[in-house]
Structure 1
Amino acid sequence: MAERPPSDDDSLKEDAKRVGRQAGKSVGSWDYSRPIYPHNMHPALVPGISLDEQRRKYSVDKIVFAVAGVLAVGFVIWGLISPENVGVVANAAYGWVTTNLSWLFSAVATIVLFSLLALAFTRYGRIPLGKDGEKPEFSTFSWVAMLFAAGLGIGVMFWGPAEPLTYFISPPPLTNAPESTEAMQFALAQTYFHWGFHAWAMYALVGGAVAYVAYRRGRTLLMSSIFRRLFGARQTDGFAGRLVDIFAIIATLFGTAAALGIAALQIGEGVTIVTGVSEITNTVLAVIIAVLMVGFIISAVSGVARGIRYLSNTNIVFTIGIVALVFFLGPTLFLLNLLPSAVIEYIGSFFDLMARSGAWGQETIDFQSAWTVYYWAWWISWSPFVGIFIARISRGRTIRQFILGVILIPSSLLFVAYGVMGATAIWMRAEGKPGFDEEMGAPQVLFTMVDNLPFAEWLPLVIMVILAIFFITAADSASVVMGILTTRGRQDPPKGIVVFWGLVMGGIAFIMLILGDETALEGLQSLVIITAVPFAIVMLLIIVAWIKELRTDPYALRYRYADNAISQAVIDGVDKYGDNFAIKVVPTEPGEGAGGTTDSAHDDYTGWYQRTDEDGDPVGYNFETGEWEDGWDPETGTIPVSEVRTTDKPE
């Protein structure tokens, strides 16, 4: 604020600092009755705390592991013993959820997207998902590759050609005439609506919140870590936190199992083409899943850096290659005309698509249940797994970069990929190409399309390899995340736990497939929607919890002080000196300074950066040197013998 002569004495300023240091109080507010700051550091000056800088004992959370594990294994056993009974219960629950809670899924998708876009453009968007000045861990290409492969890779091959073709033949209610020009445009727009901004916003919410509390606040990579300010430390470490983590595991199990089931279905379709087998039986599906699970185990024991990263980079190249081949070997000119107009159609009909609900009649309700609600539930189910995974690879990026990158970059890639695959299938249908002049299931569309491309006889084998890699990558990523959730946030969970979750997930995928009768997709759909309900509510709570955290972030506190100080200084300076004044930092009377209205010693601001030892007891820490008072070495995780203090015990 503007300099005031009575306060412009350096000795006065130094006296204030000296007294404040001695008392351990806040100098800026001149209130010496406040408690000391942790480590004698004002909360606005804390650079952030990384997860790996904390002293923490990791162990298996027996309650989370037991409850989630028993429920999952019990479901697999139930499905193997009595699939008909599981089907009856699942269908009844599915009918109730879609009738009574479809609005919840639509509300969550809309609220999450617009909340994140608003957050990205506020001052909070500049806060890093890490310590001040920290650089991103991965290159942009590797980051995008892992986002794409772990997020929606399997869907590009399965639903990419099948979903737009379905909407072209049977348009959504109250839209266009079947197989018309308008239906062609809207088919792609509807597909983009399901796979675009809304889906990635859900991933961005979970990923951003987890990355923030882990790499900025020093907490574990758990879903429950997000809610410490909302639930309180006791409940977060107790019943409420464990319940959130169990919900996250169950949602991840069924959401990822659905993707694995889709991959197995389409690989099975490829097997029928290559081997000439007449149909895909449950035995064939079981063998396919078993073979892929062996690949998953090999990938899982190799770790994130060598396993998931290499597979993700390989798969993004293969996928782009397949899409490029379809583009150049297919109706290239048609695609060049249709793709841009389809994107514009999606943007133009964006709010109209969001407005469709049960109020539009029974046909719309049926369509929403079969498609839109299913997708929103699927993305909600995938959000713990994909969110925690992308949190691990997004350290060092700002919240704005993260939100906009996660929502826009993969969506843009999907617009191209789904546009090429879907529009090619639509064109072949319109041209009456062999196989497209009759009804066929979603798994058959891709291979029928490839069969109509010139010089592409070898493509089915390549596609099967790509699908297998997608299966392994998704299973690997999801199993690691579930391992993290069951070991209190350990970043490298034991391989045995990772393999356990992967095998259970493969079993659930098989059960979901055999519940679906002839199409097999019905079982996937119903169980995903049912298991996503609890986590849909958790998603809304994450928004509230994350914003509460950001309001007390050191950057937000500095911004608030700067805004107050400059506003007061400019008014004071112009009032006293007109155009001729400068701003200088000087002490003020209580309540008159930049932080006069902020209780900066409150636990909301200071509690989070109090360092503790492995037993949770406070211990001193020097933020400038990175040294612990008791000599603990973060590299070895031990205290040197010379630093260990002993206390003589009385005889």
Structure 2
Amino acid sequence: MKKASKVFYITFALVILTVAFGVIAPEAFESATGNIRNFINTAFGWYYLLIMAILMIFVVIIIVSPYGKIRLGKDSDRPEFSTFTWISMLFSAGMGIGLVFYGASEPLSHFAVQPATAVPGTDEAFKESLQRTFYHWGIHVWTMYGMVALSLAFFQFRKGQPALISSTLKPIFGDKMNGPLGTLVDVLAVFATVFGVATSLGFGAAQINGGLAYLFGAPQTYWVQMAIIGVVTILFIISAWSGLNKGIKYLSNTNMVLAVVLLVMVLILGPTLLILNMFTENFGEYIQNLISTSFKSAPLDAENRSWLDGWTIFYWAWWISWAPFVSMFIARVSKGRTIREFLTGVVLAPTIFGSIWFATFGTTAINFQKSGIDLASFPAEQTLFAMFNEMPLGFIMSIVAILLVSTFFITSADSATFVLGMQSTRGSLLPSNQIKILWGIAQSTVAAILLSVGGLTAVQNTIIVAALPFSFVIILMVISLFKALNSEMDMIKNKK
């Protein structure tokens, strides 16, 4: 592997050591990651809330400023992909499995099991459940992805730098980014990516298994989930092998079509008028309360603080751990767009679609719960299928949902293998298939090991641990980006 960089060998070794720890001492592994997670939640919860809120403010500043006119590439460059395909690709890579896994289960949990502040089962809990879900999957997530992706795309296409996280920090550290410091930054990015994607693969395997168990009575066991991971691994390696313009592009478009079909079916066959009203009112309240919710850390409310740790802080850490992968992929497919067009599309399109999705599935599930059908008693991976069982054409929708999870599984994983390949081959836009296959196997192995040593809890613990170091890199990337944008504007003015 002549093209593999030090980043590949160092990170691969760290991944092997982490996996070995999980295999040799699973209880100690779960205990260690759990203790570190608890410490991070306690000591850095405020930090995660602050960094995500500040990134949101920075995105607004850039969109409305003269920076927005700068093109990501040469002034003559134009987008490589159509707007539909572009949105499909970033959406499939950025959220994918999570939408299906949490579509009904998260709002239902906030309503019936443990609301943030309201009394379970009340109308107030109903409204709060949707608003908090919009919050977790909406503007904050995509502004964070947008800022990291913008930095990568700007330096990659406007400045001709390699497609590496370390390249974005050169305005601050200069040539030091070509040495050990740059290697450290890229290792952090790759390590966070591997464990971030492993979490999603774990959720996907669990939900496919849950659907097969609910529909066909298949055993819901670790070994069935391993078989699912094995099959999907082969499929996403084939897709990654075919390249960006074939497998990933076509599967991303397929994802969007399947997602829209399933969404429309639930919207029509569910409580349509209630869904539309709940979306309209609660999306409006979500936007209205965005600032106050963003900074709410509940320092004097132990119960609410526990809720924030389990939901919001976990989500913010999950998204941050996904940032190197998702943002680099978004950057890779966004050449030729202006900064304003780029940020507006990245933030608004997924936020609006995701909110409609959660309003549709969440309202339908909660409506059944209120009618006396206890969907909240099902495990999260089976909630969606239990809901479909109560609806017309439920079996067909369940099959579509399993197909959707499977295709999201493949696109998330093959996008990640593509990006991991880029990051570990000195920023090559066409990483070798050998590198992509090794990373594909590594991701699936990590997901399998984490599921074996503690189920999804071990996966979630590991994600929060992996995300913290990279969050500091994000801060430096934003500072570096503003410094570079100021220089770019000065150059543009001098040309005039």
Q: Secondary structure at the match of 2:405?
A: helix
The answer to whether structure 1 residue 312 and structure 2 residue 252 are counterparts is yes
Instruction: Please give the alpha-carbon distance, in whole angstroms, between the structure 1 residues aligned to 2:59 and 2:494.
Output: 21
User: Secondary structure of the equivalent of 1:371?
Assistant: helix
Which residue does the alignment assign to 1:577?
none
CA distance in 2, matches of 1:352, 1:498: 43
Q: 1:509 offset after TM fit, Å?
A: 1.0
389, 396, 402: which one aligns with 1:458: 396
Is 2:462 the counterpart of 1:527? yes
- Please tell me whether residue 446 in structure 1 is matched to residue 381 in structure 2: no
**1:440-496 residue CA offsets vs partner (Å, 9 max, x unmatched):** 221111011111111222222222121111111111001111111110011111111
Deviation at 1:557, TM superposition (A): 2.6
- What whole-Å deviation, never above 9, does each CA across 1:76-120 have from its counterpart, x for those lacking one? 232223211211111111111111111221111111111121112
1:354 aligns to what? 294
Tell whether 2:61 aligns with 1:121: no
Q: Could you list the per-position Cα deviations for residues 229-248 of structure 1 after superposition, in whole angstroms to 9, with x for gaps in the alignment?
A: 11112x11111111111010
Q: In the alignment, what sits opposite 2:442?
A: 504
Measured after TM superposition, the shift of residue 171 of structure 1 is: 4.7
Specify which of 173, 176, 182 is matched with residue 241 of structure 1. 182
For 2:401 and 2:24, the matched residues in 1 are separated by 34
Q: Which residue among 59, 80, 83 is the counterpart of 2:3? A: 59
Give me the whole-angstrom Cα distance separating, in 1, the residues matched to 2:330 and 2:178. Answer: 24
Look up the match of 1:68. Answer: 11
Match status 1:550 vs 2:476: no
The answer on whether the counterparts of 2:275 and 2:364 sit within 8 Å (CA) in structure 1 is yes
Q: Quick check: 2:104–2:365 contact (8 Å CA) kept in 1?
A: yes
Kept in 2: contact 1:170–1:178 (CA 8 A): yes
Opposite residue 177 of structure 1, the aligned amino acid is V
For structure 1, the residue ranges without an aligned partner over 5 or more in a row are: 1-57, 563-651
Aligned residues: 495
Any conservation in 2 of the 1:308–1:477 contact (CA below 8 Å)?
Answer: yes
Contact 1:124-1:556 within 8 A present in 2 as well: no
CA displacement 1:150-173 (0-9 Å, x = unmatched): 110111111111111111114544
Q: Determine the structure 1 residue equivalent to 2:353.
A: 413
Structure 1 length-normalised TM: 0.74
Instruction: State the 1:358 CA deviation.
Output: 4.4
Answer yes or no: is the 8 Å Cα contact 1:76–1:504 preserved in 2: no
Answering whether residue 365 of structure 2 is matched by residue 425 of structure 1, we say: yes
Q: Distance in 2 between matches of 1:412 and 1:110?
A: 19
- C-alpha separation in 2, matches of 1:68 and 1:390: 22
Corresponding residue of 2:35: 92
Deviations 1:522-545 (A, max 9, x none): 222211111000011111111100
The question of 1:188 aligning with 2:122 is answered no
Once the two structures are superposed, what CA deviation does each residue of 1:31-88 show, in whole Å capped at 9, x if it has no partner? xxxxxxxxxxxxxxxxxxxxxxxxxxx9321x21111000112222322232112111
The structure with the largest helix share of the pair is 2
User: Counterpart of 1:223 in structure 2: which amino acid?
Assistant: I
Larger deviation, residues 109-118 vs 80-89 = 80-89
For 2:8 and 2:365, how far apart are their aligned partners in 1?
A: 45
Q: Distance in 2 between matches of 1:219 and 1:560?
A: 23
Length-normalised TM-score, structure 2: 0.97
Q: Which has the higher contact order (CA 8 A, sep 6+)?
A: 2
Does the residue aligned with 2:71 lie in a helix, a strand or coil? coil
Query: Matches of 2:406 and 2:7 in 1, distance apart?
Result: 30
Which shifted more, 346-355 or 399-408?
Answer: 346-355
1:477 maps to what in 2? 415
Asked if residue 271 in structure 1 is aligned to residue 212 in structure 2, the reply is yes
8 Å CA contact retained: 2:109, 2:115: no
Runs of 4+ in 1 over 4 A off after TM superposition: none
Q: Distance in 2 between matches of 1:395 and 1:159?
A: 32
What one-letter code is carried by the residue in structure 2 that aligns with 1:328? I
* Structure 1 letter corresponding to 2:320: I
Q: Quick one: which of 188, 193, 198 aligns to 2:140?
A: 198
The Cα shift of 1:291 comes to 1.0
**What is the root-mean-square deviation of aligned Cα atoms in Å?**
1.5
- The residue type equivalent to 2:3 in the other structure is S
Matched, 1:324 2:267: no
Q: Distance in 1 between matches of 2:114 and 2:490?
A: 48
Measure, in 1, the Cα distance between the counterparts of 2:100 and 2:384. Answer: 7
Shift of 1:513: 1.9
> Which of 189, 196, 217 in structure 1 is aligned with 2:159?
217
Separation (CA, whole Å) in 2 of partners of 1:212 and 1:526? 33
Q: Does 1:228 align with 2:170?
A: yes
Q: In the aligned structure 2, how far is the partner of 1:323 from the partner of 1:295? A: 25
The structure number with the bigger radius of gyration is 1
**Structure 2: which 5+ residue stretches go unaligned?**
none
Residue 94 (structure 2) aligns with: 151
Q: Distance in 2 between matches of 1:232 and 1:455?
A: 60
Provide the rounded CA distance (Å) in 1 between the counterparts of 2:415 and 2:311. Answer: 26
